[in-house]
Structure 1
Amino acid sequence: MKLHYGATSALALATALMATTAGAVGLDRSNQDVTAIFEEGNLLELSYGRVFPDLSGRDLEDRTTLDPVAEYDGVGEDFLNVSGSLKFDITPDISMALIVDQPFGADILYPETAGSNLGGTSADLDSLAMTLVGRYKVNENFSFHGGLRGEKLEGRIRLNGAAYRALSGYEVELEDNTAYGYVLGAAYERPEIALRVALTYNSVIEHDFDAVESIPALLQTPPPLGPGFPAVAAGTTTVETPESWNLDLQTGVAQDTLVFANIRYAAYADTIVSPQIFSLATGGASLTNIEDNYSAQIGVGRRFNDMFSAQAAIGFEPEKDDLVSPLDPTNGKRWISLGGAYKASEQVTLSGGVRYTLLGDSMPETGTPDVAQARFTDNDALAVGMSITTRF
């Protein structure tokens, strides 16, 4: 079956665009996508996405007083996600790509309400990564790819509210730090039917942050830290971003029609954030509590004519334990996305899309053992994105 796929790359681009506009597993924002290395020819691609979460909840009913139960609206703040890639062929069998993205992020803020369990708690995480990846085609069917990734992170976390007791008012700033890891992968292809199966491994990246902790007054007297403890302490905090595996599949099913799927697994259980004073006060606890998980999506792309192609996809992240970290008050996701690509000229393609995501119900918890402090239900998020690709 010989397929006519003049717009294969446009379909792949629209698919990748949907992955960059809304996070999936844990703190994911871009899925660390490197599929630009499989594009045909030389190209420069720039993408822009904005996500609008509608994330709200309320404290669990107070069983000991008649005080009103606090409500939290707009806990998830809007955020941007930008990315770009430059891909070029060195020889018919060797190609390179430079990919810039924002792989991880968090924008959480609980409105501060007197007497609430979590009001004033917040988390901000910003990231920027540059990945230089090369690909070697062994033959028409098999290829290997790999490279180096530099990753810059910075963040700030604040704990506040009655649920944190003596820790209420604790804050830590993780100053920007750059660290390095690697990418390895392999692919099997059958060009005559537009088949490609590509597996990519992203290594752990270990960051050593200069951390400044602000210590609330209740922790400065015994217990647990002892008298005369400073209100501000500086030290080093080591945090690992997770290792992960991406499986990208596509195949033609009819002339000008492509079916694709993407599966990502990220090992977040080892992403521990335990600054020195916080660890001492809590017996080694972590500010984060994210489980290993995976996300998956499947979709179809169709080229309607020489100028226009479109795609639609559905996806999910499975639910785990209802008890979650207040810094990520969701439990599983379901989404649908629509995208299109317009070939403005032989060199320029414009793409855009929208994704609607249902966010799973959850109960943010604190303490050891875990105690539910609030309930989040009926939340969702809308993401929109666009990109421009120039071939040369």
Structure 2
Amino acid sequence: MKKILLSFVILSAPIVAQAAGFALIEQSASGMGNAFAGGGAIAEDASTIFFNPAGMSYIEGTQLVGAIHLIKPTVDFNGSISGTGKAGGDGGDAGDLSFAPNFYYKRDLTNTVKFGLGINAPFGLKTEYDATWMGRFQAIKSEVKTININPAIAFKLNDQLSVGAGISAMWAKAELTRAFNLGGPSAETTVKIKGDDWGFGFNIGAIYQATADTRLSVAYRSKVNQHLEGDSTSPLIAALNTNVTAAITLPETFSASAFSKLNDTWDLMGDVTWTRWSQFKELRVDFANPVLTDAVTAENWSNTLRYSIGANYHYSDDIKFRAGLAYDEEAISDQFRTARIPGNDRKWVSLGANWKVSPSSSIDVGYAHLFISDASINKNEGAGNGTLTGTYDGSVDILSAQYTHNF
């Protein structure tokens, strides 16, 4: 387990958010091909531990699932800055090639009771501009990393109804850097703030087998309160070399999903997921040094909905093709958009395939392209930090692979 966790930390270091706010929906490669439509009802493999733990009732025996997602976002800014007295470029591409892994384990305790363990990253963010860009007094690097350890259990109550529940232990780490304007034409320095914490939550779900070929599901994942503790450092400002704390609530989600086997060739699935981002009112950093006031950024995010539909085509007993579409609302309005998270609404187009390599193992691949709506910004960060005005143009490409083995 220590080796698995170490590998997970190494792989998930350069992670980037691809759902609303800084949520990550990339929790399986099998789901990627359908744009994660029907994620709580499809119960195809042990990744159901994340989407709906009740789905373990549909998986027989012991199963291991490992997945990796390569994520390449493009984030380009076009605009201007006023009020800093300093020049700078457009920041370059603020999105880097990133990796996000998932690991799931499931086994039978009895014929009707199943146990599972998931290790994944439900939240993540990384944007990083050139160090000399025009908006450096508002943001240079913004990074959030999480690791979620999620044991779960499922009960098959009868032939129609299954329920499941799990607990989450989530480690979160954040790092924020920006330049600090000291006034003169070339007088400036940098400030880095970082901190981490463990938080705890739970997830529950239920699946109802409406007919022999159709099932419906609901699933809920609780909020997780994180109280980050760390430090602030600056090479030229001694007062900023101090301890810091920051509190953030990672939001709860509720999803309703459906899966139906239309015939021997086609499956159809859909999903609606609600995320309560409205709890994120502000980002407040409290400095231990009493001469410093709190650093406060108004966020005022909104709750979001994500809609997805997907289909499977069974080409043969061993090969299955997938496709999916999704619309993912952004939590950030134009009024409160910042250079740290310049996201907007996303439209997903996904394709994938499953190949049964042997009776006990299979390989999944998935690809998605995300069309991100242009995002405008008009952010005034106060004296010396300037007013950043312009638009962001972005898109994302995701390539996923997964290996599933049954024992």
The number of aligned residues is: 360
> Distance in 1 between the 2:255 and 2:232 partners?
36
- Deviation for aligned residue 1:22: 6.9
Aligned residue in 2 for 1:336: 349
Q: Which amino acid in structure 2 is aligned with residue 24 of structure 1?
A: A
> Which letter maps to 2:252?
E
> Secondary structure at 2:287's aligned position in 1?
helix
Note closer, same or farther for the CA distance 1:167–1:206 as it changes in structure 2 (3 Å cut). Answer: farther
State whether structure 2 residue 373 is matched by structure 1 residue 353: no
Instruction: Kindly indicate whether the alpha-carbon contact (under 8 Å) linking 2:126 and 2:144 is maintained by their aligned counterparts in 1.
Output: yes
Specify which of 392, 396, 405 is matched with residue 381 of structure 1.
396
Aligned partner of 1:246 in structure 2 is: 255
Following superposition, the deviation at residue 45 of structure 1 comes to 0.7
Displacement of 1:21? 10
Change (3 A) 1:191 1:86: farther
Is 1:153 paired with 2:172? Answer: yes
Q: Work out the CA distance in 1 between the residues paired with 2:203 and 2:222.
A: 6
Shift, 1:36, TM fit = 6.4
The match for 2:190 is 169
Find out whether 1:314 has 2:325 as its counterpart.
Answer: yes
Deviations 1:265-285 (CA, angstroms, capped at 9, x unpaired) = 222232453121399967672
Q: Offset of 1:170 from its aligned partner?
A: 3.5
Paired position in structure 2 for 1:88: 107
Is the 2:220–2:254 Cα contact (8 Å) retained in structure 1? yes
What is residue 4 of structure 1 aligned with on the other side? none
Shift of 1:59: 2.8
Contact conserved, 2:21 with 2:343, CA < 8 A, in 1?
Answer: no
Unaligned regions of 5+ residues in structure 2, if any? 1-14, 28-49
Structure 1 window deviating more from structure 2 (264-273 vs 166-175): it is 166-175
In the superposition, relative to structure 1, how do residues 280 and 179 fare at CA in structure 2: closer, same or farther (>3 Å)? farther
Kept in 2: contact 1:125–1:153 (CA 8 A):
yes
| 1:221-370 equivalence runs, <5 A | 230-271=239-280, 272-277=282-287, 285-286=296-297, 290-318=301-329, 321-323=333-335, 324-364=337-377, 365-367=379-381
Give 1:275's aligned amino acid.
V
Kept after mapping to 2: 8 A contact 1:131/1:148: yes
Q: 1:31 to 1:286 in 2, by over 3 A?
A: farther
1:361–1:375: 8 Å Cα contact kept in structure 2?
A: no
Tell me the equivalent position of 1:3. Answer: none
- What per-residue deviation string (whole Å, max 9, x for no partner) do you get for residues 139-181 of structure 1? 111122112111111110113377x999983331113x22211
Corresponding residue of 2:198: 178
- Equivalent position of 2:43 in the other structure: none
Give the Å deviation of 1:27: 0.9
Closer/same/farther in 2, CA of residues 366 and 256 from structure 1, 3 Å limit:
farther
Residue 231 of structure 1: how far off its partner (Å): 2.8
234-243 vs 275-284, which deviates more? 275-284
Aligned to 1:60, what secondary structure does the other structure show?
strand
**Are 2:275 and 2:304, in contact at CA under 8 Å, matched by a contact in 1?**
yes
Question: SS where residue 93 of structure 2 aligns?
Answer: coil
Cα deviation digits, residues 186-223 of structure 1 (max 9, x gap): 22113611x22221111121222222123697xx7xxx
Q: Is the 8 A contact 2:17 2:124 kept in 1?
A: no
- Shifted more, 349-358 versus 261-270: the winner is 261-270
Give the AA of the match of 2:322. Answer: Q
CA contact (8 A) 1:28 1:105 kept: yes
8 A contact 2:54–2:163 mirrored in 1:
no
The separation in 2 between residues aligned to 1:21 and 1:260, in whole angstroms, is: 27
The answer on whether the counterparts of 1:265 and 1:294 sit within 8 Å (CA) in structure 2 is yes
Name the SS for the 1:77 alignment partner: coil
Matched, 1:59 2:62: no
- Report the Cα distance in structure 2 between the residues aligned to 1:255 and 1:161, rounded to whole angstroms: 63
Inter-partner Cα distance in structure 1 for 2:17 and 2:340: 17
Distance 1:330 1:167, change over 3 A: farther
1:111 aligns to 2:130 (yes or no): yes
Alpha-carbon distance change, 292 to 141 in structure 1, aligned in 2, over 3 angstroms: same
Worse-superposed segment, 245-254 or 285-294: 285-294
Which residue identity does 1:45 align to in structure 2? Answer: V
Tell me, in whole angstroms, the C-alpha distance in 1 between the residues paired with 2:25 and 2:18: 7
Aligned mate of 2:21, from 20, 26, 30: 26
For the aligned residues, what is the CA RMSD? 3.4
Q: 1:62 to 1:233 in 2, by over 3 A?
A: closer
Return closer, same or farther for 1:311/1:118 CA change in 2, 3 Å cut-off: farther
Judge conservation of contact 2:53–2:163 (CA < 8 Å) in 1.
no
TM-superposed CA distance for 1:289, in Å, is: 5.6
AA aligned to 2:370 is T
SS at match of 1:172: strand
Distance 2:88 2:133 in 1: 11
Quote how far apart the aligned CAs of 1:76 are.
1.6
Deviates more, 1:285-294 or 1:350-359: 285-294
User: Identity over the aligned pairs, expressed in percent?
Assistant: 15
> Which consecutive residues of structure 1, in runs of 5 or more, have no partner in the other structure?
1-19, 221-228
Which of 201, 210, 213 in structure 2 is aligned with 1:190?
A: 210
